[in-house]
Amino acid sequence: MKFDSLYLIGLVAILVGACERVGFSADENSPAPAVDSSVAKKWEFEAHVQPILTRAGCNSGACHGALAGKGGFRLSLRGYDSAADHFAISRQDRGRRIEPVEPGRSLLLAKPSGMLAHKGGLRLEEGSRDYRILAEWIAQGTPGPNQDDAKLVSIEIAPTRLELKPDASQQLAIRATYSTGRVEDVTHWARFSSSNESVAEVDENGLIKVVGPGKSAVIGWFASRLAIAQVVVPYALNPAPSAYAEFRPKNFIDEILLTEWQALNLAPSPRCSDETFIRRAYLDTVGILPTEEQVRRFMSDNRPDRREFLVDELLGSEAFVDYWSYRWSDLFLVNGNLLRADAVAAFYKWIRANVQQNTPWDIFVRQVIVARGESLTEGATNFYAIHQDPQSLTENTCQAFLGLSIGCAKCHNHPLEKWTNDQYYAMANMFARVRAKGWGGDSRSGDGKRTIVVLERGDLIQPSRGQPQPPAPLDAPPIDMHDTADRRQVLAEWMTNPKNPYFTRAISNRVWANFMGVGLVESVDDMRTSNPASSERLLQSLADNLIDQRYDLKSLMRAILNSHAYQRSSEATPDNAPDARHYCRYTPRRLMAEVIHDAICQVTGVTTKFAELEFPGGDRNKTDVYPEGTKSLELYDSAVSNYFLKTFGRHQRRITCDCERSDQPTIVQVLHLNNGSTINDKLADKGSIVSQWLDKKLPLEQIVDEAYLRSLSRTPSADERRRVLLLAQESLKEDGNRREVYEDLLWSLMTSREFLFSH
């Protein structure tokens, strides 16, 4: 892509004018920031000096931006505190770093330019534009930041969207707009990164080089502001028009994806079979396998819209309530190691009641943020028992409901995002007046009751400034510090407002990832601007649709489940084999630990007896047991001990992060499936399905069909049936142990990838 011709002419004029003003020629080798004619000759500390120091790496964490600085000289990390940095440069140690009469002898210039020994090496070429700007600034008396300086309003990147061919390159430019209306080209001072370096790389000067096909985003950073350029490089596949013939869009999801596939030269996989769909829909929506009867009933249904009927049936089932109550308990960290037993039960019951009532997500979250009252009757208040100080409340609220990790801003401006230290403490001050009565006592004493109250006064002190920041949600204007009303009401209104750019997108991405296997943004709780979605258009459309449906999550789930994109086969085709991020086919993934465990119990017909950990506050020798038949997805307390769940990566609910759950394969998992007690003991149990088959004396052919239906939700193919029957008959001839044959058959199916994965 090329710039608009008028913009190019203007940019050249700005560059030439700026060069003439500061005495440089336009053909100098060193690239320089082009400053328009409205810029005063006086250099500004925040607009010009700080960017030079950041570009040179002087205020990086490896240099003077380290916590203790270097060589007695300390700067704020990436220049987040201009007032302190100006003092350190111009006033600290009696101003020894500055020589106003002879700027070139200033340590600020002499060391990074190599005139004096410098452990950081050469950082600033003598005579370069940045060198001369610093020299002029020193000669002008090192003016510091003040209220009269123009404030940075925004930055923009150009071009914003690029469609490039393999081996192509493209130069980017970044312009900064200030409160006075002036615009500067800050490309030379900006930092650049690529979200997908297998598609496009970008160098320190903003030059993009295509590496391979796909989609990427190039992020430009300047003064804690970000701008993004989308890069699209089509695959060299050129699918025939017939490859799209079967795919007729069902809804907006399909329409958007079809457009993007065509732009990338990708084609979708065929529609999945009905057997695959029913198993997939059950596992993704309610976390259990369909029974043999449910599979047979669905397969015998001749209605053309039977898949839609199945989706509605699942969304209205009690199993749906179990599954999503469990998933939201992961998000809210319902954990007996963090709460007393009665509080755990109260918190879970509150979550489950909201799932059962299909409470809109904005109201669901609002109840948590403004919760107050007694913890055993007002379950949502237990969120404040898990996160007990303004800082942890801020970080976990942002992580859970906005998908934003802002913890880095607790000490300094966020290095990967726009959030500042001031914004962090302004947000934290929204929780400063929340208190709890009955908080004392160790984990084994007291009745577990805690009452959340909100005081009329009190503020959180920002350590770096020694005073509180005016309370304000992120990106929102501050509220009156002296207002005695509950600040959390303002926070709840801001957070759940449809115009909030994070809230709706965050939950839309979580729900999408649950059904499609991969989030539009990965990881699902990393929604920072510098980690853009694989399809920004689709993510925004999902969010807009959720707003239109008044935050009815079932409506969003229904749209995804009924989309033809969700109903693709997981098998790759020659027209989409290289792709892994654009949903041309369903993404197989290993099932959650709890879902695998419940599936094993369902197939074998033998449940697990779960013994709960000793309740905090209870009898030291007491061990309570969940009722017989309790499923893993009904264990509302993550502190319940179970070797299988631990081995297969159950969410530990210790921190608000999706990384707490693991689906990574391990040798221990393989060994447990082969020789462990979970499968083998259940198969050998007298009450297992194997015993029932033996008692009924069913024909071997029927046993094979039922084993496949129970385990894989399908009947065996003709070849599978032939081979299994042959093996079974040979085994029976050798020792006649029919039970062992049946157990081996079920074991082989339950340890297969087809059983362990949603596909």
Amino acid at 73: F
Can you tell me the distance from the alpha carbon of 142 to that of 460, in angstroms, rounded to the nearest whole number?
34
Question: For 479-506, what is each residue's pLDDT tens digit?
Answer: 999 999 999 999 999 999 999 999 999 9
What beta strand segments (E) does 167-295 contain?
Answer: 169-171, 173-178, 183-185, 191-194, 200-202, 207-210, 214-222, 225-233
Can you tell me the distance from the alpha carbon of 109 to that of 230, in angstroms, rounded to the nearest whole number?
38
Q: What is the pTM of this model?
A: 0.88
pLDDT at 33 > cutoff 60: no
pLDDT at 110 > cutoff 70: yes
The token pair at 217 is: 């985003």
Can you tell me the distance from the alpha carbon of 264 to that of 305, in angstroms, rounded to the nearest whole number?
31
Can you tell me the distance from the alpha carbon of 79 to that of 83, in angstroms, rounded to the nearest whole number?
10
CATH number of 152-233: 2.60.40.10
Taking each helix axis as running N to C, give the angle between helix 677-684 and helix 738-750, from 0 to 180 degrees, rounded to the nearest 10: 150
Q: pLDDT at position 610, please?
A: 86
Secondary structure of the chain: what % helix, strand, coil (to 5)?
45, 10, 45
Mean pLDDT of all residues belonging to the chain: 88
Can you tell me the distance from the alpha carbon of 668 to that of 677, in angstroms, rounded to the nearest whole number?
13
Which residues have CB under 8 Å from 465's CB, separation 6+?
none
pLDDT at 693 > cutoff 70: yes
Q: pLDDT at position 734, please?
A: 75
Which residues have CB under 8 Å from 316's CB, separation 6+?
none
Question: How do beta strands 161-163 and 225-233 pair?
Answer: parallel
Helix (H, G, I), strand (E, B) or coil at 311: helix
Can you tell me the distance from the alpha carbon of 431 to that of 454, in angstroms, rounded to the nearest whole number?
9
pLDDT at 28 > cutoff 50: no
Give the total residue count for the chain. Answer: 759
- Largest interatomic CA distance in the chain: 104
Question: For 694-741, what is each residue's pLDDT tens digit?
Answer: 999 999 999 999 999 999 999 999 999 999 999 988 888 877 789 999
Question: For 536-557, what is each residue's pLDDT tens digit?
Answer: 999 999 999 999 999 999 999 9
Q: pLDDT at position 624, please?
A: 52
pLDDT at 103 > cutoff 80: yes
* Phi (first) and psi of residue 388, to 5 degrees: -105, 5
What beta strand segments (E) does 631-730 contain?
Answer: none
Q: Cβ distance 340 to 614 under 8 Å? A: no
Can you tell me the distance from the alpha carbon of 366 to that of 569, in angstroms, rounded to the nearest whole number?
39
Q: pLDDT at position 18, please?
A: 38
Question: For 111-155, what is each residue's pLDDT tens digit?
Answer: 999 899 998 899 999 989 999 999 999 999 999 998 888 899 999
Distance in angstroms between the alpha carbons of the first and the last residue of the chain = 40
SS3 letters across 211-231: CCCEEEEEEEEECCEEEEEEE
Cβ-based neighbour number of residue 422 at 10 Å: 18
pLDDT at 3 > cutoff 60: no
pLDDT at 371 > cutoff 80: yes
Taking each helix axis as running N to C, give the angle between helix 5-22 and helix 129-139, from 0 to 180 degrees, rounded to the nearest 10: 50
Q: Cβ distance 582 to 264 under 8 Å? A: yes
Which residues have CB under 8 Å from 492's CB, separation 6+?
365, 366, 369, 370
